[in-house]
């Protein structure tokens, strides 16, 4: 009897436990990362009887959970990837909307700016056109500033998200360390693991992997260790290692991550390549930084190239043009690990904006020389620079660094941000419409009496800072193959006996001209000659003029000495159309001096003798072709510099052969390409996560149909065990009655 009862009671206990486990499964059907549990049953050792061995019922060996460690490892990895690319996709979408939106993007403003410039070139004297141009210039600078501000706001948002993620990571690692402690203290872990604690820890591990990529190492006592990609510990047994969000050791404007208590500069960013944190860092490094650098490059390139041409022009007040825009300059950041006692500080300047690239640079000093590395492609651009002159010359990159204070110690490093700050400081410096320099400051002309087939170009300014730019300069041909260049304002010869080559550029005093054709050189050896008009009545003669002042601006003007009587004459400047003198007394052989020359008219001694007669004319004119370059005073309608400014719209001079619009379009295209890459990768990662989730569910998930069937099966077994007890009780009662009888 006792054996029957004991066997039945063991069955009741076992099937009640099985039904409890089934109920627990059903109750947690929607609990994230809950693993289905089952009661593992076994038979106890049988009892030996004379007729053989007899079983003693059933034992509950353990409560096991359905779990696959490899599948969970895959699920954590795929969760990390999905979280990374979800953040990347969201942030990249914001960037694309910002840069490409016609309402907030830059393209319409660039078009309006150059459209107003073309209108100004068509009407350079119009104050209205000038004001519209300045208004569009202000709109353009404001829009560039607004876009840069939006990018900076996005950067601030990323920094805030990094801080929030670090806080959540620390909470999770602390919780996991506590569960490790609870599990390690649980008795008989190997045979009776605390399943619900393990499930809770798995859930926290998945949540942690969504924030940062992790590696998990299981320990014999049931605890586990967690490491980041570079081997940095987050949890070791019962100890959690907290992260902190801090300023980068290189760039104080960026937030990075390090382990609490670590030295400055021990950044972990390069080891964090997945999870939300990995997404934030990748977005900032590969999308946000290049875009903001590109916008800064556009602003700095626009300012420098536009200013350079504008300064070569002349405004309505007859002044040389000044800078139209101002932009930010490169920044140099010392690394926080640099020797604090030397405290070297560099300043950086742009030497040529057309050579700038969208990249930061690292300068490393080894005690004697420095190495410069372009960080966008990790190319060493200068391997052994000498700091003897306290300069870092990066000519090919359009940059120059100067040590302005402190000294250098071996191992010191510096970060150079060449264009990051360019757009934030872009501003319009001219507000007076009269100061817009649409005219060229110089004009050229051919001497009226030139007889050769030569012509001179309008002239172009090459150096607006040259103090002699607007001096009057004469190019005087001394033969068909040679010429002199005379600065009439300064009274100096810039060059003499220069060999003539048709079409070859001539550059002096900050300007450049070309002369083409076949010139007529001087026959007399003097730049001017004199002759009596063939129609003269008298036979008086005029002497070859002597040049008193070769630098007189009017030396080559055509002059007529017109006799009004035998004793008086007038002097008329045919070139200028003005009378230089009238009613002058004539003395045979007397000096007649004007415009830098002196000549004499003498009577013909005969026989018969002759004096000048009324109506006689004597001419002084240039001998040999000549050209002049001079100040363009009064050039109110001149639009030559405006036209040169218009050409800048399509000039491919920035970032390896792009115009302004091309730089911006390339930014948009690159962000778009990154967006498509991220979106495609996200789809792939989501598919992998779905697959690993389904695999886990097939192994560990709760199936209500299956649990319902189990419940019926266990209930029937329980009822059968109860029936055995009832039968045992009836047999016992019958036995007692038999004994009593």
SS3 annotation, 169-220: HHHHHHHHHHHHHHHHHCCCCCCCCCHHHHHHHHHHHHHHHHHCCEEEEECC
Question: 60-84 burial by CB neighbour count: b if 16+ within 10 A, else e?
Answer: eebbbbbbeeebbebbbbbbbbbbb
Distance CA 357, CA 334 (A): 21
Where do the DSSP E strands lie in 219-340?
224-228, 233-236, 239-240, 243-247, 255-259, 325-326, 331-334
Choice among 89-93, 513-517, 563-567, 711-715 with the minimum mean pLDDT: 711-715
Distance CA 46, CA 367 (A): 84
Contact assessment for residue 234 and residue 252, using Cβ atoms and an 8 Å cutoff? no
Total count of residues recorded for the chain: 741
pLDDT at residue 217 in the model? 95
Choice among 278-282, 550-554, 579-583 with the minimum mean pLDDT: 550-554
Query: pLDDT tens digits, residue range 39-66?
Result: 888 888 888 877 888 878 888 888 889 9
Distance CA 502, CA 595 (A): 30
pLDDT top residue among 336 and 567: 567
For tokens 């490899």, the residue is: 70
Query: pLDDT tens digits, residue range 290-300?
Result: 999 999 999 99
pLDDT at residue 389 in the model? 52
Contact assessment for residue 217 and residue 178, using Cβ atoms and an 8 Å cutoff? no
For tokens 């690394």, the residue is: 335
CA-wise closest residue to 456 among 446, 448, 464: 446
Contact assessment for residue 574 and residue 559, using Cβ atoms and an 8 Å cutoff? yes
- Domain boundaries along the sequence of the chain: 2-66+703-740, 72-290+650-691, 329-420, 442-631
Distance CA 569, CA 620 (A): 15
First-to-last C-alpha distance (Å) of the chain: 20
* Helix, strand, or coil (residue 399): strand
pLDDT at residue 149 in the model? 95
Contact assessment for residue 411 and residue 600, using Cβ atoms and an 8 Å cutoff? no
Distance CA 607, CA 610 (A): 8
> Residue 129: is its pLDDT beyond 90?
yes
Report the predicted TM-score, pTM, of the whole model to 2 decimal places. 0.84
Distance CA 645, CA 311 (A): 11
pLDDT top residue among 190 and 129: 129
Query: pLDDT tens digits, residue range 650-695?
Result: 999 998 889 999 999 999 999 999 999 999 999 999 999 999 999 9
Q: Would you state the structure tokens that stand for residue 729, as one six-digit string?
A: 């009780």
Contact assessment for residue 84 and residue 279, using Cβ atoms and an 8 Å cutoff? yes
- Report in angstroms the alpha-carbon separations of 366 from 288, 370, 408: 32, 6, 9
pLDDT at residue 102 in the model? 67
* Helix, strand, or coil (residue 246): strand
- Report in angstroms the alpha-carbon separations of 340 from 336, 403, 406: 8, 16, 10
pLDDT at residue 719 in the model? 87
* Helix, strand, or coil (residue 672): helix
* Packing angle of the helix pair 660-700, 107-122 (nearest 10 deg): 170
pLDDT top residue among 738 and 140: 140
> Residue 158: is its pLDDT beyond 90?
yes
pLDDT top residue among 524 and 38: 38
For tokens 């047999």, the residue is: 731
List, edge to edge, every strand of the sheet that includes 331-334. 331-334, 413-417, 360-365, 369-374, 379-386
> Residue 110: is its pLDDT beyond 90?
yes
- Report in angstroms the alpha-carbon separations of 376 from 279, 286, 393, 511: 19, 9, 19, 39
List, edge to edge, every strand of the sheet that includes 617-622. 528-532, 617-622, 559-563, 568-573, 578-585
pLDDT at residue 265 in the model? 62
* pLDDT confidence tier of residue 607, bands split at 50, 70 and 90: confident
- Report in angstroms the alpha-carbon separations of 181 from 204, 206, 232, 552, 653: 15, 19, 21, 101, 65
Is the backbone peptide bond immediately before 384 cis, with ω within 30 degrees of 0?
A: no
Distance CA 676, CA 662 (A): 21
pLDDT at residue 201 in the model? 94
The mean pLDDT of 625-632, rounded to a whole number, is: 90
Q: Would you state the structure tokens that stand for residue 724, as one six-digit string?
A: 């055995």
Query: pLDDT tens digits, residue range 25-36?
Result: 899 999 999 999
Query: pLDDT tens digits, residue range 266-291?
Result: 788 989 999 999 999 999 999 999 99
CA-wise closest residue to 11 among 708, 712, 707, 725: 725
* pLDDT confidence tier of residue 509, bands split at 50, 70 and 90: very high
Could you give the count of Cα atoms lying within 13 Å of 467 in the half-sphere of its Cβ? 1
The mean pLDDT of 345-365, rounded to a whole number, is: 90
Contact assessment for residue 569 and residue 532, using Cβ atoms and an 8 Å cutoff? no
* pLDDT confidence tier of residue 634, bands split at 50, 70 and 90: confident
Distance CA 684, CA 690 (A): 10
pLDDT at residue 2 in the model? 52
Q: What angle do CA 467, 472, 473 make, to 5 degrees?
A: 100
Distance CA 228, CA 212 (A): 8
Q: What is the mean pLDDT of the chain?
A: 90
pLDDT at residue 229 in the model? 84
> Residue 168: is its pLDDT beyond 90?
yes
Query: pLDDT tens digits, residue range 171-214?
Result: 999 999 999 999 988 877 767 889 899 999 999 999 999 999 99
Burial of 418 (C-beta count, 10 Å sphere; 0-12/13-18/19+): buried
Query: pLDDT tens digits, residue range 203-225?
Result: 999 999 999 999 999 998 889 99
DSSP code at position 435? G
């Amino acid at each position: 009897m006792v054996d029957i009862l004991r066997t039945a009671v063991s069955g009741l206990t076992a099937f009640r436990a099985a039904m409890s486990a089934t109920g627990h499964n059903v109750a947690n059907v929607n609990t994230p990362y809950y693993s289905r549990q089952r009661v593992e049953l076994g038979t106890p050792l049988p009892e030996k009887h004379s007729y053989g061995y007899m079983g003693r019922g059933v034992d509950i060996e353990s409560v096991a959970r359905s779990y696959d460690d490899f599948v969970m490892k895959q699920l954590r990895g795929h969760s990390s990837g999905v979280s990374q690319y979800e953040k990347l996709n969201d942030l990249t979408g914001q960037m694309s909307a910002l840069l490409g939106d016609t309402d907030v993007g830059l393209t319409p403003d660039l078009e309006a700016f150059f459209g107003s410039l073309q209108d100004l070139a068509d009407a350079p004297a119009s104050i209205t056109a000038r004001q519209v141009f300045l208004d569009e210039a202000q709109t353009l600078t404001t829009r560039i500033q607004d876009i840069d501000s939006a990018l900076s706001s996005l950067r601030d948002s990323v920094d805030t998200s990094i801080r929030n993620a670090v806080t959540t990571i620390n909470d999770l690692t602390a919780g996991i360390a506590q569960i490790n402690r609870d599990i390690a203290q649980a008795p008989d872990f190997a045979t009776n693991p605390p399943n619900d604690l393990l499930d809770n820890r798995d859930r926290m591990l998945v949540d942690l992997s969504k924030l940062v990529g992790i590696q998990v190492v299981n320990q014999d006592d049931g605890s586990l260790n967690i490491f980041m990609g570079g081997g940095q510990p987050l949890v070791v047994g019962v100890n959690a290692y907290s992260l902190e969000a801090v300023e980068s050791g290189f760039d104080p404007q960026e937030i990075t991550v390090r382990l609490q208590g670590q030295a400055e500069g021990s950044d972990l960013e390069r080891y964090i390549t997945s999870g939300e944190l990995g997404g934030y860092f990748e977005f900032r490094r590969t999308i946000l930084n290049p875009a903001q650098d590109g916008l800064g490059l556009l602003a700095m390139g626009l300012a420098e190239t536009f200013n350079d041409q504008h300064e070569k022009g002349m405004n309505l007040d007859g002044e040389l043009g000044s800078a139209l825009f101002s932009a930010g300059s490169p920044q140099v950041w010392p690394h926080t690990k640099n020797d604090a006692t030397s405290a070297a500080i560099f300043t950086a300047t742009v030497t040529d904006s057309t050579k700038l690239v969208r990249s930061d640079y690292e300068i490393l000093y080894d005690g004697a020389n420095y190495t410069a590395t372009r960080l966008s492609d990790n190319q060493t651009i200068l391997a052994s620079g000498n700091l003897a002159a306290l300069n870092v010359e990066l000519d090919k990159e359009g940059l120059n660094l100067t040590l302005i204070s402190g000294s250098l110690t071996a191992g010191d490093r510096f970060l150079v941000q060449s264009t990051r700050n360019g757009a934030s400081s872009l501003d319009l410096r001219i507000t007076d419409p009269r100061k817009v320099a649409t005219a060229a400051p110089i004009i050229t002309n051919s001497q009226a009496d030139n007889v050769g087939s030569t012509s001179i170009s309008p002239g172009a300014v090459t150096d607006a800072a040259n103090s002699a730019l607007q001096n009057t300069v004469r190019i005087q041909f001394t033969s068909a193959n040679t010429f002199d260049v005379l600065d009439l304002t300064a009274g100096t010869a810039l060059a003499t006996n220069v060999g003539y080559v048709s079409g070859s550029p001539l550059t002096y005093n900050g300007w450049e001209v070309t002369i083409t054709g076949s010139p007529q050189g001087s026959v007399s050896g003097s730049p001017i000659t004199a002759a009596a008009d063939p129609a003269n009545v008298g036979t008086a003669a005029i002497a070859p003029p002597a040049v008193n002042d070769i630098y007189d601006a009017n030396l080559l003007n055509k002059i007529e000495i017109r006799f009004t009587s035998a004793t008086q004459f007038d002097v008329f400047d045919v070139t200028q159309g003005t009378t230089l003198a009238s009613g002058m007394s004539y003395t045979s052989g007397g000096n007649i001096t004007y415009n830098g020359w002196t000549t004499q008219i003498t009577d013909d001694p005969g026989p018969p003798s002759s004096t000048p007669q009324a109506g006689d004319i004597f001419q002084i004119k240039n001998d040999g072709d000549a050209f002049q370059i001079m100040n363009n005073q009064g050039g109110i309608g001149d639009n030559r510099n405006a036209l040169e400014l218009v050409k800048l719209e399509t000039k491919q001079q920035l970032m390896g052969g792009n115009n302004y619009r091309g730089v911006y379009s390339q930014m948009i295209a690159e962000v778009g390409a990154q967006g498509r890459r991220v979106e495609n990768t996200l789809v792939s990662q989501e598919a992998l996560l779905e697959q690993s989730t389904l695999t886990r569910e097939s192994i560990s998930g709760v199936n209500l149909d299956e649990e319902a069937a189990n419940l019926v099966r266990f209930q029937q077994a329980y009822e059968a065990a109860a029936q055995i007890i009832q039968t045992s009780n009836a047999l016992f009662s019958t036995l007692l009655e038999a004994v009593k009888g």
